[in-house]
Amino acid sequence: MSVQIRAADNADIEKLAELEKRQYNEHAYPAGLFYQALSQWPGYLLLAHAGQRILGYALSSPALEPEQSWLMSLLVCPSARGSGTGKALLQQSMRLQKQYGTEKYWLTVAPDNHAAVTLYQNQGFEVQQLQTDYLGPGQHRYLMCCSIQINPAFQINHRSTT
Ligand SMILES: CC(C)(COP(=O)(O)OP(=O)(O)OC[C@H]1O[C@@H](n2cnc3c(N)ncnc32)[C@H](O)[C@@H]1OP(=O)(O)O)[C@@H](O)C(=O)NCCC(=O)NCCS
Protein backbone atom coordinates (compact mmCIF):
# COMPACT_ATOMS: atom_id res chain seq x y z
CA MET A 1 0.00 0.00 0.00
CA SER A 2 1.44 3.39 -0.92
CA VAL A 3 2.24 6.06 1.62
CA GLN A 4 0.10 9.19 1.51
CA ILE A 5 0.52 12.56 3.15
CA ARG A 6 -2.49 14.55 4.33
CA ALA A 7 -3.47 17.17 6.89
CA ALA A 8 -4.17 15.65 10.28
CA ASP A 9 -7.46 16.12 12.11
CA ASN A 10 -8.66 15.52 15.65
CA ALA A 11 -9.44 11.86 14.96
CA ASP A 12 -5.72 11.20 14.35
CA ILE A 13 -4.36 12.71 17.51
CA GLU A 14 -4.46 9.81 19.96
CA LYS A 15 -2.50 7.67 17.49
CA LEU A 16 -0.04 10.50 16.84
CA ALA A 17 0.49 10.92 20.58
CA GLU A 18 1.13 7.16 20.93
CA LEU A 19 3.74 7.31 18.16
CA GLU A 20 5.36 10.29 19.85
CA LYS A 21 5.35 8.54 23.24
CA ARG A 22 7.01 5.42 21.82
CA GLN A 23 9.84 7.58 20.45
CA TYR A 24 10.35 10.11 23.22
CA ASN A 25 8.84 8.57 26.40
CA GLU A 26 8.61 11.25 29.10
CA HIS A 27 9.83 13.91 26.67
CA ALA A 28 7.00 13.27 24.20
CA TYR A 29 4.57 15.97 23.16
CA PRO A 30 1.25 15.15 24.86
CA ALA A 31 -2.01 14.73 22.95
CA GLY A 32 -3.10 18.15 24.24
CA LEU A 33 -0.27 19.84 22.39
CA PHE A 34 -1.47 18.31 19.10
CA TYR A 35 -5.08 19.34 19.75
CA GLN A 36 -3.92 22.87 20.49
CA ALA A 37 -1.70 22.95 17.39
CA LEU A 38 -4.59 21.86 15.18
CA SER A 39 -6.80 24.51 16.67
CA GLN A 40 -4.28 27.35 16.50
CA TRP A 41 -2.40 26.46 13.30
CA PRO A 42 -4.78 24.48 11.12
CA GLY A 43 -2.94 22.88 8.23
CA TYR A 44 0.42 22.89 10.00
CA LEU A 45 0.11 19.28 11.21
CA LEU A 46 0.69 16.71 8.45
CA LEU A 47 0.64 12.98 8.75
CA ALA A 48 1.90 10.10 6.65
CA HIS A 49 -0.30 7.01 6.48
CA ALA A 50 -0.72 3.75 4.64
CA GLY A 51 -4.42 3.02 4.81
CA GLN A 52 -5.44 3.29 8.47
CA ARG A 53 -1.87 2.97 9.71
CA ILE A 54 -0.18 6.20 10.74
CA LEU A 55 3.50 6.16 9.81
CA GLY A 56 4.67 9.59 10.88
CA TYR A 57 3.96 13.27 11.16
CA ALA A 58 5.40 16.74 10.66
CA LEU A 59 4.36 19.69 12.82
CA SER A 60 5.15 23.30 12.01
CA SER A 61 4.35 26.56 13.73
CA PRO A 62 4.45 30.22 12.74
CA ALA A 63 7.46 32.17 14.05
CA LEU A 64 7.23 35.50 15.81
CA GLU A 65 8.79 37.19 12.79
CA PRO A 66 6.53 37.64 9.70
CA GLU A 67 7.05 35.21 6.81
CA GLN A 68 9.00 32.84 9.02
CA SER A 69 8.01 29.43 10.42
CA TRP A 70 9.42 26.58 12.44
CA LEU A 71 9.43 22.88 11.80
CA MET A 72 8.75 21.78 15.37
CA SER A 73 8.82 18.05 14.89
CA LEU A 74 9.30 15.38 12.24
CA LEU A 75 8.87 11.75 13.21
CA VAL A 76 8.52 8.47 11.32
CA CYS A 77 7.76 5.22 13.14
CA PRO A 78 10.84 2.94 13.28
CA SER A 79 9.38 0.23 11.05
CA ALA A 80 8.70 2.73 8.24
CA ARG A 81 12.08 4.49 8.24
CA GLY A 82 14.42 4.43 5.28
CA SER A 83 11.62 4.31 2.69
CA GLY A 84 11.20 7.98 1.85
CA THR A 85 8.41 8.80 4.32
CA GLY A 86 10.39 11.42 6.24
CA LYS A 87 11.46 13.09 3.01
CA ALA A 88 7.87 13.11 1.72
CA LEU A 89 6.59 14.69 4.96
CA LEU A 90 9.34 17.32 4.93
CA GLN A 91 8.81 18.17 1.26
CA GLN A 92 5.05 18.51 1.71
CA SER A 93 5.53 20.76 4.74
CA MET A 94 7.93 22.90 2.65
CA ARG A 95 5.40 23.15 -0.20
CA LEU A 96 2.73 24.28 2.25
CA GLN A 97 5.05 26.82 3.83
CA LYS A 98 5.78 28.19 0.39
CA GLN A 99 2.03 28.47 -0.20
CA TYR A 100 1.57 30.27 3.13
CA GLY A 101 4.22 32.81 2.14
CA THR A 102 6.95 31.61 4.46
CA GLU A 103 10.34 32.89 3.39
CA LYS A 104 12.52 31.35 6.06
CA TYR A 105 11.76 27.92 7.49
CA TRP A 106 13.68 27.12 10.66
CA LEU A 107 14.34 24.00 12.69
CA THR A 108 16.69 22.65 15.30
CA VAL A 109 18.20 19.18 15.37
CA ALA A 110 20.67 17.29 17.54
CA PRO A 111 24.11 17.45 15.86
CA ASP A 112 24.55 13.68 16.23
CA ASN A 113 21.22 12.92 14.54
CA HIS A 114 22.90 12.10 11.24
CA ALA A 115 19.78 10.76 9.52
CA ALA A 116 17.84 13.96 10.21
CA VAL A 117 20.73 16.36 9.52
CA THR A 118 21.38 14.65 6.16
CA LEU A 119 17.70 14.74 5.26
CA TYR A 120 17.46 18.45 6.07
CA GLN A 121 20.66 19.36 4.22
CA ASN A 122 19.55 17.43 1.14
CA GLN A 123 16.32 19.44 1.10
CA GLY A 124 18.07 22.81 1.23
CA PHE A 125 18.46 23.53 4.95
CA GLU A 126 21.78 24.93 6.09
CA VAL A 127 23.30 24.98 9.55
CA GLN A 128 23.29 28.55 10.86
CA GLN A 129 24.94 27.90 14.21
CA LEU A 130 25.39 25.41 17.01
CA GLN A 131 23.25 26.45 19.96
CA THR A 132 24.67 25.03 23.17
CA ASP A 133 22.32 23.87 25.93
CA TYR A 134 19.35 24.74 23.69
CA LEU A 135 17.11 22.04 25.18
CA GLY A 136 18.76 22.04 28.61
CA PRO A 137 22.25 21.33 29.94
CA GLY A 138 24.27 19.31 27.42
CA GLN A 139 21.37 19.26 24.93
CA HIS A 140 22.98 21.08 22.02
CA ARG A 141 21.18 21.70 18.73
CA TYR A 142 22.05 22.83 15.26
CA LEU A 143 19.91 25.78 14.22
CA MET A 144 19.10 25.20 10.53
CA CYS A 145 17.25 27.36 8.00
CA CYS A 146 15.91 27.02 4.46
CA SER A 147 14.96 29.95 2.22
CA ILE A 148 11.71 28.49 0.94
CA GLN A 149 10.69 31.04 -1.67
CA ILE A 150 13.93 30.81 -3.64
CA ASN A 151 13.95 27.02 -3.64
CA PRO A 152 12.46 26.20 -7.06
CA ALA A 153 11.92 22.56 -6.15
CA PHE A 154 8.67 23.20 -4.34
CA GLN A 155 5.47 23.42 -6.29
CA ILE A 156 2.16 23.46 -4.50
CA ASN A 157 0.50 20.07 -4.20
CA HIS A 158 -1.94 19.43 -1.39
CA ARG A 159 -1.60 15.63 -1.44
CA SER A 160 1.50 13.67 -2.25
CA THR A 161 2.49 10.05 -2.49
CA THR A 162 5.95 8.65 -1.88
C1 LIG B 1 14.79 11.56 10.68
C2 LIG B 1 13.62 10.70 10.18
C3 LIG B 1 12.36 11.55 10.25
C4 LIG B 1 13.89 10.30 8.73
O5 LIG B 1 12.76 9.62 8.25
P6 LIG B 1 12.88 8.43 7.16
O7 LIG B 1 11.51 8.14 6.68
O8 LIG B 1 13.65 7.32 7.73
O9 LIG B 1 13.76 9.17 6.06
P10 LIG B 1 13.71 8.87 4.49
O11 LIG B 1 13.63 7.41 4.26
O12 LIG B 1 12.69 9.74 3.88
O13 LIG B 1 15.15 9.36 4.07
C14 LIG B 1 15.34 10.69 3.65
C15 LIG B 1 16.80 11.03 3.67
O16 LIG B 1 17.29 11.03 5.01
C17 LIG B 1 18.62 10.56 5.04
N18 LIG B 1 18.66 9.40 5.91
C19 LIG B 1 17.62 8.63 6.30
N20 LIG B 1 18.03 7.69 7.16
C21 LIG B 1 19.37 7.86 7.28
C22 LIG B 1 20.37 7.22 8.05
N23 LIG B 1 20.08 6.19 8.87
N24 LIG B 1 21.64 7.69 7.95
C25 LIG B 1 21.95 8.73 7.15
N26 LIG B 1 21.03 9.38 6.41
C27 LIG B 1 19.76 8.95 6.47
C28 LIG B 1 19.00 10.22 3.62
O29 LIG B 1 19.67 11.35 3.09
C30 LIG B 1 17.67 10.06 2.91
O31 LIG B 1 17.71 10.50 1.60
P32 LIG B 1 17.84 9.46 0.40
O33 LIG B 1 16.69 8.50 0.57
O34 LIG B 1 17.72 10.32 -0.78
O35 LIG B 1 19.19 8.81 0.60
C36 LIG B 1 13.47 9.39 11.01
O37 LIG B 1 14.72 8.74 11.10
C38 LIG B 1 12.95 9.62 12.43
O39 LIG B 1 11.74 9.73 12.66
N40 LIG B 1 13.86 9.69 13.41
C41 LIG B 1 13.46 9.87 14.82
C42 LIG B 1 12.90 11.25 15.06
C43 LIG B 1 13.87 12.33 14.64
O44 LIG B 1 15.06 12.24 14.88
N45 LIG B 1 13.30 13.38 14.03
C46 LIG B 1 14.05 14.54 13.63
C47 LIG B 1 14.08 15.46 14.80
S48 LIG B 1 14.79 17.04 14.38
pTM of the shown model: 0.93
Which domains are present in the chain?
4-161 (3.40.630.30)
Residuewise pLDDT in 10s, the chain (162 residues): 799 999 999 999 999 999 999 999 999 999 999 999 999 998 999 999 999 999 999 999 999 999 999 999 999 999 999 999 999 999 999 999 999 999 999 999 999 999 999 999 999 999 999 999 999 999 999 999 999 987 666 654 444 444
Centroid of ligand 1 to alpha carbon of 15 (angstroms): 21
Q: Rounded to whole angstroms, how far apart are CA atoms 79 and 67?
A: 35
DSSP H/E element including 69? strand 68-76
DSSP state of 10: G
> Do the beta carbons of residue 63 and residue 26 sit within 8 Å?
no
With a Cβ cut-off of 6 Å, ligand 1 is lined by 23, 74-76, 81-87, 109, 113-116, 118-119, 122
